[in-house]
Every structure is written in C-alpha cells, then in structure tokens.
Structure 1
Amino acid sequence: MKYGLALAALSGWLMFSCSQPTQQPGSDISTDGAQILKGKKLFEQHCSTCHNFNEDAIGPNLSGLTRQVESAWIKSFIKNSAALIEAQDERALSVLAKYKSPMPAFPDFSDQDLDDLLSYLHTFETLPLEIVGDTTSNLIPERIQESGIRLEVEFFAQLPPTDSVSPLAKMTKMEAIPGTERLFINDQRIGLYEIENQIPRLYLNLLEYRPAMVSKPGWATGVGSFAFHPNFESNGLFYTSHTEPGGTAPSDFGFTDSLKVFMQWVLTEWKADDPKAKVFKGTDREILRIDNASQAHGMQELTFNPNSKKGDPDYGLLYVGFGDGGTAEKRFPDISNHKGSGVYSSILRIDPLGKDGINGQYGIPKINPFAGQEGKAGEIVAYGFRNPNRVFWDEKGNLHATDIGQHSIEEINRIEPGKFYGWPIREGTFTINPFGSFRSLYPLPSDDEKYGVTYPLIQLEHDETVAIIGGYTLPYGPLQGKFVFGDIPSGRLFFADLSESSNPLVQTWGVIHEGKEVNLKELFNTSRVDLKFGQDHSGLVYIMSKAEGKIYRIKRN
C-alpha cells in the first residue's frame, strides 16, 4: 500500500487543534475534470485497499479531509513524513502518537501526482463524524512486562541495495538449505541470495525468469517467501512465491467478478541442474496462481516441517500461508469466511510432487482434514486468518502461526487441523463486524460456541505491537527454549514459552551492540525498522531490517 499507507496516518489531524491557516483549506485545489479522473485512478490503484469515503477501514475515512488541512502540509506528509516528525511538527507528532509508526518517504510520487490525488479527494465534501474515545483501547489491560534480559548482537551481513531510498533491501526470510550450512535470504525486488562468508551473492534472479513480477506498491509484494525441499541436495527442488499484476495469466483460485483482481500470487517450483551450484541453472514450472484483491495479505509464507523425516506423513509437504487478500476491507467477507470451502485466509498444505490438485500441478495430501470432502478445499490445514505471515513449529512439534490483525489485536495461534480461527468475524477474543467499522470490537456473544472459533494462544493489543512477526525458538543463551518475536514497524522484541498450554507469559527483551544497549531503531538507523528474523543451520538466530538491508546475529554467549 505504497501511497495508501502514507494516507493511512492522516486521520491524526482530524481532531488536532492547530492555528488557523492563512487561507481556507482546499481553496488551492484544482477542480478540473481531467485532473480529478487522474486522481481517481491513482486512488483506486494505490489507496483504495486502505481507504474509503464512508467510514474508517484499515485507514481513515478520507471524506472532507482536504477541507480541514492545508494542501501543502498533506503533500509534505505524503512525500516525507519522517522529515516532519524530525522537525518536531506538532501535527505530524500527533499522527505518530496515534499510529505508533512513521510512514516511509515517497519521493517518486511527483508533485503533479499529488495535485491530481488531492483534486479527487476534494470531491468528497462530507466531514467524518467525530468519534468520542477509542472503542478499541484497553481491551487487554495487562501490560507486557520487561524481562531485563539483554542479548548481545554483532553485525553479520548487508544485502546490496535494490533501491535508492529506504527500504534499501526487502528481505523477509533467511534460512539454510535443510541438512547443509548453505544460508539463503530473499530480496523481494529481485530474488534469492546465498550468504557465504558473510557476503551475499545472487543465486536466483527471479525477475529475469519472471519479468512480469512486480514489487510495488507495498511491502508485501515481490518475492514473498521461499522454501527448499528437505531433499534438495538430491532432487534440486525449491519453491518461491511472488506477485504479478492482476490478469497476467488465468488463475487457479479467484473470486466474484464484481471485485477487481489487483494482483496475482504465483507459486513456482525450481529444479536446479546441479544442487551444489552457486548460481541457479535449471528448469521451473508454475504450481499455483491465486487472485488477490489488493497488494496485501497474500502468499507470504512457504515452509516445510523441519522436524519431519523420511517416512513421516508430512515429509516433503509444502505449507503455504495465504491471507484474505484485502477482501474483508473491500466488504467481501464471505471470501475469507468460507467455512473451509476456499483457500483464502488459510494455511494450506500441498504435495508439490502430486497431480490431483485443481490444476494437476500439485497433490492433495490425504492427511489434510478436508481431503476428499465434497464442498471443501482439500488443500486446507486450518482457516480464519487475516494474514498468517509466519508458520512454524515449537520444540514439541506443535504447529503455530503469527497473524497480523486489523486495527486492534495481534495473534499467535496454535494450529489444529480443520479448525476455524475467527477472521473476519473475530479479532483475537473479540467480535468484529465485517460490514461495520473495523475499529470497533465488541464482547463475544452469549452463543459464541456455535461459531466454532478457536482462539489465539497469545493476543497482544495495538498499544503494545502494531504488526507481529514471528521469529524462532532460541536454542541457546538466557532465552533458551523461548520463542522470540517482535513488532515489524517499531522493532520492539518479545519472547514467550510456547510449550505452555494456555496464556503463555509474554515479556520484552533487548539487545546490546558493541557494549552498549540500543533499541532496534538506533541499531538500524531508522524510524521504521521493518523487523524480520532468520536462522542458520546451527540454530543461531538473526535480526534483520529492510531499512538499510542490514543483518545482525544474536551471539551465542
């Protein structure tokens, strides 16, 4: 949501008292019809995922916005909100206080683009009603406690920049090929690197093989994830997910034609001629293509069960985390509330070497809970997730997933086959109305059991974390046996013992670098961390930031 995200923070001024501008807001905005149409196209392409003009959605109701705030400030905020915050601009600071994270700079949005967009916004005259209080505050009154634990980190590597402005690199995952010391990491804009002797070298230039791939707008586009087959050393197989524009090719799974296909997520199998080669050379084939209504909440996780051995039921089966594609925000909640009949908002498990899937390019594992059931999607392991961006196992072999929430609650779920995890009628242990305001949550109904919802193992409110990202169970140090995770924008770090049966205690931890305690914003020299985690063959865990493409290793001491 490149431009939509920038606008998402703008509601902070709607109730902000400031001095009167020298002219009436909006009086400088063009009403030229052609310019309005250009602005409408920009809005629909880049902003409509997050915004409408009727009510707050993932972002604020923008109706009447240009009639309350001077145009120059709006343009400056979209161009570079961090600069306004650094200059201690009061209005920008109020936005930051409300939304917890500054917006990235957008220098490639031209002045003419900004003028066109404001012309379109200015056609909506109705001012939004003032909301008294925050209906989602203090849902979870208990505060996360500081553990006092500090782990020492050291610089490990840096990805080459793939853009001239932050984020300079866009990694989401770093893991080793199973059974080897070879360590791989993705950059969403280009493909896969192998890190050897702390130096990244491009292994797969996916963009060359798939020139239709796009990594804009938004952070969730491009090469979303990758996974090497557990038998890669013998069969040379690995898998990637990436985005292409809507309509690039016929899809295997889609939705009603009244909802525009904005992007498509593509699952690809690659077969290396020589699994030991340092640069990929081989063949590839498309396994699956799924339509997405926005750039958000797509195929951001691919993984194999690292505990599975040859002969185990799920050995060689590929797990796929797929979100709601932004369909709930667009008021099509039934696409994700499918009761097991669709693939959206689901954790999928497929046999990439099978042939009985919907397109004959993959198989449906017989161990899946809905395999062979009429009216059900045999690919599903579990469903009811807004954005299951990490799928992982604890030390006892239990399957879990982190799920990024809408406006209020972040989740870690313990996954049980065939279960429904609530989205889009639940956010955490609260009711959400998918046809109403996504900012409003309500108590569970008295007949809640009839909905069959399985609730989170851990839930955190947005006054603690804005967008959850899962890490790994640390096999060493003061947090040995604890699962470490964090908040993507701020870089705040948490841990919990997932082996606990219910209500695991969540605490914060921090890092020490070169003898000094620092937070991740300081460590990565950025106001938005874009936190990710990685792990190598020996169990060492890494923390990473897209801002400058830097990777730090948590030391074993």
Structure 2
Amino acid sequence: MVSVIRQLSCLVLGACVLWLSACGGGGGDSNSAGSPGNPVTPGAPGTGTLALTVSGLPTGTLANVSVTGPDGFARAVTATTTLTGLAAGTYTIASDNVLNGTSLYSAAQPSQTASVGGATSPAVTVTYGAPQTFRLALTAVASGLTAPIFLAAPANDPRLFVVERAGRIRVIPNSTPPATPLATPFLDISALTTTDGERGLLSMAFDPDYAINGRFFVYYTATDGAITVARYQVSTGNPNVAAATGTVLLSIPHPGATNHNGGQLAFGPDGMLYLATGDGGGANDPAGNAQNTASLLGKVLRLDVRGGSYAIPPDNPFAGGAGGRAEIWASGLRNPWRFSFDTTGLLYIADVGEGAREEVNVMPATAAGLNYGWDRTEGTTCVGAATCDTTGLTPPAFEYSHAGGGCAILGGYVYRGSAVPELQGRYFYTDLCTGGLQSFAYRDGVVTESVDWALPIPGTVFSFGTDAARELYILSNGQVLRVQRGT
C-alpha cells in the first residue's frame, strides 16, 4: 500500500511541526438521577409525592432539572417522573438549559417551588420553549509561543503550562487575555530532544500531589529517537522554574522511523501514570509491534511512579510477567497522539488511522488488557482484507472515514468546565485535514449528538488542553485559544 505522508504544518520560521497521521513511513455521561455526575441525596424518609412532567424537548433528549428540599434532599431529573417518599416541606425545582446538537432549549420557568405535605401531592410541569441556535467561539488567551503542542495546569493553580515541541515548557501566569508567557522557561530540555519527523517534547503531567511534592513528568523523544519518560522537580526558590536535571524513568527504543511516537502521558483516577506509545512507524506496522505484547510500542502503559523509579501496579494484566510486558495496560494502537480521562471514570483514546478511518476508543479506565485491534483492524474495518478474525478485539466507540476529507484525528477532552455548562459531557476533537471543532456525547455506551460546530480554527491545531478549572483550550500556530460561548 502506498501511504501518503501528511504533515501538520510548517511554522513561519520554517521549522517543521509534528507529523501525526497515516504516514506510510511515515461515558457514559448519563444524566439520569443517581448517575456519577448527578448524585442522589435521599433526605429524610417521608410519605409525600411530587409529580414532575417534562415537555417541549425532542424525543430522547434528557432534561436538566434538579430538585432540592428538606433535610438535604437533592435529586437530578432527566425525564417525566414521580418522586416518592418525600418528607413534608418546600421543594425547589430548578431547570437549566438543555443542549441537543446545536439547539439550545430553555425552560419557561427556570425555578419553581412546590409544597409537599401529608395530604398534598403537588404536580409541577417543566416546559421547554422553542430552541435557539447555540454557537461557540474562540478567544485568544496568549500568543508568541513557538510550536505549542500541549497545555496543562496543576490542581487549584491559575497558571497555564504550555509545552513547546522543541523542548521547552512555558508558564502563562493566568488565563486572562491578553496573557504574556514568562520569558524564562519553566523547563528547557531542548538539548535532550530533536524535532525531526514527529519527534520532540510532546506532553507533560503534574503529579496529583504536585502542590506538596513539586513533581511533574515529561514525555519526549531522545536524540536517538527513544520514547522517554522523565521526572522533574520544581525548584525550591522559584515556583515558575523547575530544576534543570531530571530522572529518566523509562526509555523505549524507537529506531528507524521518526513517526508514530504517540505522545501523551496523564495520571488516571487511580493515581497511576498512563502513557500511550505509537507502533514504531511505517505503513501497516511493519514490525508488528501493536499486537506484540513483548513490545511496549503501540500500547497504553500504566506505571506506579510514587517511588524513586517506577513500579508495576499489581493489577496490570501482565504484572506477573507471563504473556507480555508488565507495563502494558492496553494494546493494538497505531498512533494514539492524545488520550484523556473523564470525571465519570471513562478513558477516551483518539487513535490516528492509516489510510481509511479515524477512531476514538471509550472504555472504563478500570478495563485492563483490552486490544483495540491495530493492525488487524483500522476502526471497524479489516486491514488488507474484506474479513478478518476480530476475536478478542475491542471496537471503537466512534469512528469516521476519510471520505469526508478527514485524515488524522486530534483527540481532546470531555468538557467539564463551568463557563459553558451546556457543554457538559461532550467530547471535543478535530481533524488535521478538516480543521473544524467537533464533538460527540457518549451516554450509556452509545455515541450521540455528533456535532460539527462550524467553527474554523485559525491555522493548524496541534493539541487540546485543559486548565485547573477544566476549561478547554486549543493550541494552534503559536496561540492558546479558549473555547467559550459564542453570540
């Protein structure tokens, strides 16, 4: 198969930025009552009832209603229901906006009250009116960066840390535009990496206890091409500068091809460090790394980095050493450039395809030992054959073909910020070749509301990022852009 080399872009100064795609050489967020995002507080037991009717929404669209009352009672309601066993007292019914695709529905009465008593069983109707078109916009937070390729922030910290591909991490003091990056890099390891092909400093992750221990981790390709994970420490005298010397925890040989390095590392909800590696490069995984559990390439790895080096979590699928490398958490990936964890406990992996399909794998973060199929399958299609053996393979939750002009998925995050609450639970991504902002919702194991926001992103997108408040950012052509409500 003759594959097509695709570059992300070339900077104005002529330095080539990351290659991601098919280079031949190159959760459910259920909004139902009692779901992870909508806990139920029962309150004191009683005998009262409250009939709640929801109208005005399209069939299958979940309402966004909260009911609060005596003794700490709180419940989220997404459809017509009757609440029973209520204590006597006054209950408040708050109805927030509902987004279905790009249609925004607002309740005629955003807030109502009802009195429940021994002989009183009130009925309340929440009526949503005709929808308005909901739009998004991008605000430039900062500019003047050189090949920004990742953005992160420690918990409860107003700063933004931007990874520049050449080997530097820059600090933006706050997210209020126009913000200016500090002149002195937080970290500069440009002497340790190279930017040929898809190589460079590709991402970073702050230790969950960063405020206490000052540790953070970086993912880069060494000058010999080896995928490298190293730990660094913030300096004792300046919170905006890290100690210059780090400790290499893991080095994975990546000889030959300069592409398919993966690039993401992140801490999971279990406190373990996860990283996603590419298959080693070349068309159709010529070395067979993705399906080889003796290789760390084409995998998601899971490490315990709480000690001086790294340890193997005992519940890793090959922790005993039999059947594969003990670091492996999942296999069968081609070039998982970006992955992310949602607050619901789901793991989203956007895996760049070869020549036909792009995919997002969505599974519980606790699901160990999954095989996502590459290079036996690309998305849900067989590689090089009409049919193939898919036994033991986990299909993607979402995929799209290159027929619509796409060529390489750039995965992002599920929105969990507060600035645009209507976006809660939607996973955002873009594509290298189409360049627009897109999203979908994953609820109860099903992808719904796939939306193209008709919001062209200036330049070429390199990555997404989130701040400490879980607001969503896009990195493009030297800029940090924040996703926000449009007009």
| Partner residue of 1:193 out of 170, 191, 213 | 170
Q: Indicate the residue corresponding to 1:350 in structure 2.
A: 303
Q: 1 CA distance for matches of 2:434 and 2:230?
A: 32
TM-score, normalized by length of structure 2?
0.68
Q: Deviation of residue 347 (structure 1)?
A: 0.5
Equivalent residue, structure 2, for 1:474: 415
Larger proportion of helix: 1
Q: 1:242 is matched by which residue type in structure 2?
A: Y
Residues 262 and 277 in structure 2, CA contact (< 8 A), matched pair in contact too: yes
Counterpart for residue 376 of structure 1: 324
Decide whether the 8 Å contact of 1:235 with 1:275 is kept in 2.
Answer: no
1:339-373: CA deviation from partner (whole Å, max 9, x where unpaired): x3321110001112347xxxxx3110112122113
Q: Give percent identity, aligned residues only.
A: 27
1:214 and 2:194 correspond: yes
Question: Which deviations, in whole Å up to 9, do the C-alpha atoms of 1:152-210 show, x marking residues without a partner?
Answer: 222210133xxxxxxxx2222112112322221100113111111422124334236xx
In the alignment, structure 1 residue 291 sits paired with structure 2 residue 253: yes
Q: Provide the residue aligned with 2:387 in structure 1.
A: 444
Letter in 1 for 2:236: D
Correspondence 1:302 to 2:257: no
Aligned partners of 1:370 and 1:377 also within 8 Å: yes
CA distance in 1 between counterparts of 2:161 and 2:12 reads 29
| 1:113-149 deviation line (CA, Å, top 9, x unaligned) | xxxxxxxxxxxxxxxxxxxxxxxxxxxxxxxx98764
Summarize the alignment of residues 91-130 of structure 1 with structure 2, pairs less than 5 Å apart. 104=10
Residue 498 of structure 1 is aligned with which of 442, 460, 464?
442
Give the Cα separation in 2 of the matches to 1:106 and 1:554.
25
| SS of residue paired to 2:2 | coil
After superposition, give the CA deviation of every residue in 1:23-68 in whole Å (9 maximum; x if it has no partner): xxxxxxxxxxxxxxxxxxxxxxxxxxxxxxxx51345xxxxxxxxx
Change (3 A) 1:496 1:231: same
Pairs within 5 Å for 1:20-419: 55-59=1-5, 104=10, 149-160=134-145, 169-197=146-174, 198-201=179-182, 202-207=184-189, 211-215=191-195, 217-218=196-197, 220-246=198-224, 263-274=225-236, 277-281=239-243, 283-292=245-254, 293-305=256-268, 308=269, 314-315=270-271, 317-327=272-282, 329=284, 331-333=286-288, 335-338=289-292, 340-354=293-307, 361-415=309-363, 416-419=367-370
Mind listing any 5+ residue stretches in structure 2 that lack a counterpart? 16-100, 104-132
Q: Which amino acid in 2 is paired with 1:535?
A: T
AA in 2 matched with 1:353: R
Q: Counterpart in 2 of 1:536?
A: 467
Deviation sequence 1:480-526 (CA, Å, 0-9, x none): 32111111343212111123413434221134xxxxxxx22xxx2x4
Residue segments in structure 1 that go unaligned for 5+ positions in a row: 1-54, 60-98, 110-144, 161-168, 247-262, 309-313, 356-360, 434-441, 512-518
Partner residue in 1 for 2:481 = 552
Give the distance between the partners of 2:462 and 2:167, measured in 1 at CA. 19
For residues 330 and 460 of structure 1, do their structure 2 counterparts lie closer, same or farther at Cα, with a shift above 3 Å needed?
A: closer
**Aligned pairs, number:** 359
Q: Tell me the secondary structure at the aligned position of residue 189 of structure 2.
A: helix
2:23 maps to: none
CA distance in 2, matches of 1:245, 1:276: 29
Bigger drift between 175-184 and 424-433 goes to: 175-184
Q: Which has the higher strand share?
A: 2
CA distance in 1, matches of 2:279, 2:351: 11
Asked if the contact 1:204/1:279 (under 8 Å) is kept, the reply is: yes
The 1-side partners of 2:273 and 2:251 are apart by 15
Question: Which of the numbers 449, 454, 463 marks the counterpart of 2:394?
Answer: 454
Q: Kindly provide the CA deviation profile for residues 60-112 of structure 1, in whole angstroms up to 9, marking residues without a partner as x.
A: xxxxxxxxxxxxxxxxxxxxxxxxxxxxxxxxxxxxxxx8x996489979xxx
Rounded Cα–Cα distance in structure 1 between residues aligned with 2:144 and 2:346: 33
- Aligned-residue CA RMSD (Å): 2.7
* Partners of 2:3 and 2:283 within 8 A in 1: no
Q: CA deviation at 1:541?
A: 1.4
